Chain A
Amino acid sequence: MDSLEPASNLLEYNEARYRILAEQSGVMITLHRPGDWAYSAVNPAVEQLTGYRADELLGLPAYELFHPEDAWAMQHKLIPAIKKHGTRTFRYRSRNRQGEYRWVESTHRSIRDEQSGELKEIIAVTREVQQEVEAEQALQRLAAVVEASADLVLLCDEQLQVLDLNRAARQALGRSESGAEPQERFSLRDYLSTESVQKIRTIALQVARQKGRWKGAIRLDFPGRKEGFWQLEQLISTHTEPVYGLYSLIIRDRTEEQAVQQALQDKQQQLAHSERLMSLGEMASGLAHEINQPLASLLNYARGGLRKLKQAETISPDKLTQLLSAMEKQAERAAAIVRQLRSMVKKTPLRPELIDLEQSLREAVNFVEQELEQQSVNIRWDKPQGKAQVMADKVQLQQVWVNLLINALEAMAQSGDRSGNNNAQREINISIQALNKAETHSQDWQVDIVDQGGGISAEEMTHIFEPYYSSKSSGMGLGLSISRSIVESLGGGIDVDSDGQSYSCFRIRLAASR
């Protein structure tokens, strides 16, 4: 009967059962000698895990199988710890028979003599953890990527409570820098404007809840935070057990793109504006040609008629009727062109507005920036204290400045060519100054644009504002006459001054407006 079996039998029986356990186990169980850590006993599972047969391992110091990077820690940290505390679990890489290092996890326990307390043996239970370690490493790599991302990545619940966030997000929100410490829970709603929260919830969250992912662009305002153009671009529902209803938010800083975009838009606007400026000039040139045609014809008829009469030839009444009708037709044609022009002008009504003179001039300077650079001409400014304001149509006034600046540049290019001295640093001086008129107690602004070109002779100065008077080989000679009519229509005046050799100064007076 079992219960009557002697104690020694029971011992044997138990030993046999332990042996079965050890022999059948998939876990590697080994005994090591203290000192050299040599295998003194191993179970059959070693062959499966290491590829070595039991007899190959017995007597072999375990260190020899450790990865060089782990061996040092084993020797200097683990073994003293085992000796001191009795038991320790450690992960390390161990070489199998094929020469590959695999991640394993061993729990070591020291066995001491009950009486002397002397360390007799160490028992190690080892299992392979290669896949676990690989999975963890992959996760760590991913986490590192997310952490290092320049995009703001946040893990939130439906209420926008933040569970986790990467470095970029911590920086943007001004949260504590250490990623290791568990973050205090907080809500993204505390950082966002109400409008932004509203947009996230009604647009992005709705879609992500139904489809698992939302992609788009929602401009986010972080009131009181760093200036920038932030955009929520993705919101991904993360169904990771055990927690549902979590979302990853990816927010990108689009400040730079936005700046480029803005610059592009400005440029386009400037271009549209310059086209408007240009078309005035082109219109004038086209118009001149159009009016020239009937006028030239009219002159031909009249001069032909006069010539005949001078030669004492008679002109028959029929012929004379023909001639006068032809002349009438040409005069009509010219008149029709003028009417057409007038209706065109009417279509673009002037819009007088309060204009800051300096700003208006600066915009005009921007407009000729390329020419300035090409000729390496600097602008020197003399500005008044405070704002110089006038009432004028913005485009018209700029037309005047651009015109004068281009004239100044051309004058300087010509004189540069003549003297062969094109490299010297040259300037156009723009000065704005107040003119107080005592008699009316009013104020004018005077703008001087002074170039260092070849100057204008006294003779030229008397004609310079006349239409079709031009010193340039190309050009209609309309620029200054148009400029003068614009300035005069604003109740101002334009003058020129020059020493005839080294400078020209165009002086514009405009009534101040406050």
Chain B
Amino acid sequence: MNPILIVDDDADFRESLSWLLESAGYDSRGYDSAEAFLNAYQGEPACLLLDVRMTGMSGLELQRQLIAKAYQIPVILITGHGDVPMAVAAMKNQAFDFISKPFDDESLLAIIAKAVEEIPRRFERQSDLLEANRHWQALSRREQEVAHLVAGGASNKGLAETLGISVKTVEIHRSRVMKKMQAGNLAELIQKINLMSDDA
């Protein structure tokens, strides 16, 4: 079972929440600040319960850091009562959902259940994405350029003209791209590049 990770600077609240989650059959782990969480988290499958209002790094900032690292962990934000602007900002930061405090346990558990359901799909995508990113970083700048043009549907001949190089050279670049990106065919390459551009 994937754990529920709780980031809240109120220790009592963390503890009570983990008791509630335990009663519903979830494992949970608490962190007292966004910084502490970022130091510990390595991208493993989990669900995150995040308080927006914290001393130090805010929940919204933590969300942005997760996006920058391409982590796909579903984030449920806990906002204060009537804090609509904050909730809107959280949703724009690709939050899975938000719930305002004080909350009803049924609603929280329903949201968590949905998020947990999402975990396998999200983390498959995350590993694909991280792998594609890693491969992409291994490409030279010219190879990245060629990859983009190929994915955009350019022929070898067209590429040679656009880049002002020989068709032969284009072919060499192209085969290196396919190999480094571990793409068996053009369709796979396009899929990988689209995955990365979706995330950005």
The reply to whether A329 and B12 form a contact with Cβ atoms under 8 Å apart is yes
> Smallest Cβ distance from B91 to chain A, in angstroms?
15
**Secondary structure type dominating chain B contacts:** helix
The residue that A295 contacts in the complex, of B22, B24, B80, B102, with Cβ under 8 A, is B102
Interface size on B, residues (CB 8 A): 22
The reply to whether B103 and A296 form a contact with Cβ atoms under 8 Å apart is yes
Task: Output the residue of A300, A303, A470, A476 with the most chain B CB within 10 A.
Answer: A300
The reply to whether B16 and A301 form a contact with Cβ atoms under 8 Å apart is yes
The reply to whether B103 and A468 form a contact with Cβ atoms under 8 Å apart is no
The answer to whether residues A288 and B12 also contact, given A300-B19, A323-B19 and a CB cut-off of 8 A, is: no
Q: Which of B1-59 contact A (CB under 8 A)?
A: 10, 12-13, 15-17, 19-24, 53
**Looking across the interface, which residue of chain A has its beta carbon closest to that of B19?**
A304
Kindly list chain B residues whose C-beta atoms are within 8 Å of the C-beta of A474: 82, 84-85
Question: How far, in whole Å, are A303 and B12 apart by their CA atoms in the complex?
Answer: 15
Per-residue A-contact encoding for B113-130, CB less than 8 Å = 1, 0 else = 000000000000000000
The answer to whether residues A300 and B81 also contact, given A323-B19, A326-B16 and a CB cut-off of 8 A, is: no
The reply to whether A473 and B12 form a contact with Cβ atoms under 8 Å apart is no
> Smallest Cβ distance from B57 to chain A, in angstroms?
19
The reply to whether B13 and A293 form a contact with Cβ atoms under 8 Å apart is yes
The reply to whether A307 and B105 form a contact with Cβ atoms under 8 Å apart is yes
**Looking across the interface, which residue of chain A has its beta carbon closest to that of B53?**
A289
Contact size range, A: 20 to 34
Question: How far, in whole Å, are A293 and B12 apart by their CA atoms in the complex?
Answer: 9
The reply to whether B23 and A473 form a contact with Cβ atoms under 8 Å apart is no
> Smallest Cβ distance from A28 to chain B, in angstroms?
96
Question: How far, in whole Å, are A303 and B84 apart by their CA atoms in the complex?
Answer: 26
> Smallest Cβ distance from B137 to chain A, in angstroms?
44
- Does B64 belong to the interface (CB within 8 Å)? no
- Does A297 belong to the interface (CB within 8 Å)? yes
The answer to whether residues A304 and B13 also contact, given A292-B101, A473-B84, A474-B82 and a CB cut-off of 8 A, is: no
Q: Which of A296-329 contact B (CB under 8 A)?
A: 296-301, 303-305, 307-308, 311, 323, 326, 329
Kindly list chain A residues whose C-beta atoms are within 8 Å of the C-beta of B82: 470, 473-477
Kindly list chain A residues whose C-beta atoms are within 8 Å of the C-beta of B13: 293, 296-297, 300
> Smallest Cβ distance from B100 to chain A, in angstroms?
10
The reply to whether A304 and B12 form a contact with Cβ atoms under 8 Å apart is no
The reply to whether A307 and B102 form a contact with Cβ atoms under 8 Å apart is no
The answer to whether residues A326 and B23 also contact, given A296-B102, A476-B81 and a CB cut-off of 8 A, is: no
Kindly list chain B residues whose C-beta atoms are within 8 Å of the C-beta of A330: 12, 16
Question: How far, in whole Å, are A477 and B85 apart by their CA atoms in the complex?
Answer: 16
- Does A333 belong to the interface (CB within 8 Å)? yes
The answer to whether residues A326 and B19 also contact, given A296-B13, A297-B12 and a CB cut-off of 8 A, is: yes
Question: How far, in whole Å, are A304 and B82 apart by their CA atoms in the complex?
Answer: 25
Question: How far, in whole Å, are A308 and B19 apart by their CA atoms in the complex?
Answer: 10
**Looking across the interface, which residue of chain B has its beta carbon closest to that of A313?**
B23
Question: How far, in whole Å, are A401 and B92 apart by their CA atoms in the complex?
Answer: 38
**Secondary structure type dominating chain A contacts:** helix
The reply to whether A304 and B23 form a contact with Cβ atoms under 8 Å apart is yes
The answer to whether residues A307 and B23 also contact, given A473-B82, A474-B82 and a CB cut-off of 8 A, is: yes
The reply to whether A333 and B12 form a contact with Cβ atoms under 8 Å apart is yes
Kindly list chain A residues whose C-beta atoms are within 8 Å of the C-beta of B102: 292, 295-296, 299
Kindly list chain B residues whose C-beta atoms are within 8 Å of the C-beta of A305: 19, 23
> Smallest Cβ distance from B149 to chain A, in angstroms?
48
> Smallest Cβ distance from B177 to chain A, in angstroms?
50
Question: How far, in whole Å, are A468 and B101 apart by their CA atoms in the complex?
Answer: 13
**Looking across the interface, which residue of chain A has its beta carbon closest to that of B85?**
A474
Question: How far, in whole Å, are A301 and B13 apart by their CA atoms in the complex?
Answer: 10
The reply to whether A297 and B16 form a contact with Cβ atoms under 8 Å apart is yes
The reply to whether B101 and A296 form a contact with Cβ atoms under 8 Å apart is yes
Question: How far, in whole Å, are A329 and B13 apart by their CA atoms in the complex?
Answer: 12
Q: Which of A442-488 contact B (CB under 8 A)?
A: 468, 470, 473-477
Kindly list chain A residues whose C-beta atoms are within 8 Å of the C-beta of B15: 297, 326
The reply to whether A304 and B81 form a contact with Cβ atoms under 8 Å apart is no
Kindly list chain A residues whose C-beta atoms are within 8 Å of the C-beta of B85: 474
The residue that A288 contacts in the complex, of B21, B22, B81, with Cβ under 8 A, is B81
Task: Output the residue of B23, B24, B80, B81 with the most chain A CB within 10 A.
Answer: B23
**Looking across the interface, which residue of chain B has its beta carbon closest to that of A297?**
B16
> Smallest Cβ distance from A213 to chain B, in angstroms?
61
> Smallest Cβ distance from B112 to chain A, in angstroms?
13
The answer to whether residues A303 and B20 also contact, given A296-B13, A297-B12, A297-B13 and a CB cut-off of 8 A, is: yes
Question: How far, in whole Å, are A29 and B84 apart by their CA atoms in the complex?
Answer: 105
The residue that A307 contacts in the complex, of B17, B20, B81, B101, with Cβ under 8 A, is B20
Question: How far, in whole Å, are A468 and B85 apart by their CA atoms in the complex?
Answer: 18
The reply to whether B81 and A468 form a contact with Cβ atoms under 8 Å apart is yes
> Smallest Cβ distance from A316 to chain B, in angstroms?
14
**Looking across the interface, which residue of chain A has its beta carbon closest to that of B25?**
A311
Kindly list chain A residues whose C-beta atoms are within 8 Å of the C-beta of B20: 300-301, 303-304, 307
> Smallest Cβ distance from B188 to chain A, in angstroms?
47
Per-residue A-contact encoding for B72-102, CB less than 8 Å = 1, 0 else = 0000000011101100000000000000011
The answer to whether residues A289 and B80 also contact, given A301-B19, A304-B22, A307-B20 and a CB cut-off of 8 A, is: yes
Task: Output the residue of A288, A294, A301, A477 with the most chain B CB within 10 A.
Answer: A301
Question: How far, in whole Å, are A323 and B13 apart by their CA atoms in the complex?
Answer: 13
> Smallest Cβ distance from B103 to chain A, in angstroms?
7
**Looking across the interface, which residue of chain B has its beta carbon closest to that of A323?**
B19
- 25 residue pairs bridging A and B, Cβ less than 8 Å apart: A289-B80, A293-B12, A293-B13, A294-B12, A296-B13, A296-B101, A297-B15, A297-B16, A299-B16, A299-B102, A300-B17, A300-B20, A301-B19, A303-B23, A304-B19, A304-B21, A304-B23, A304-B24, A305-B23, A308-B23, A326-B16, A329-B12, A330-B12, A330-B16, A333-B12
Given contacts A288-B81, A300-B17, A303-B23, 9 further A-B contacts (CB under 8 A): A289-B81, A296-B13, A296-B102, A297-B17, A301-B16, A304-B19, A305-B23, A473-B84, A475-B82
> Which B residues have a C-beta under 8 Å from some C-beta of A?
10, 12-13, 15-17, 19-24, 53, 80-82, 84-85, 101-103, 105
Report, nearest first, the 8 A-B pairs whose CB atoms are least far apart. Answer: A300-B16, A304-B23, A297-B16, A304-B20, A307-B23, A300-B20, A303-B105, A304-B19
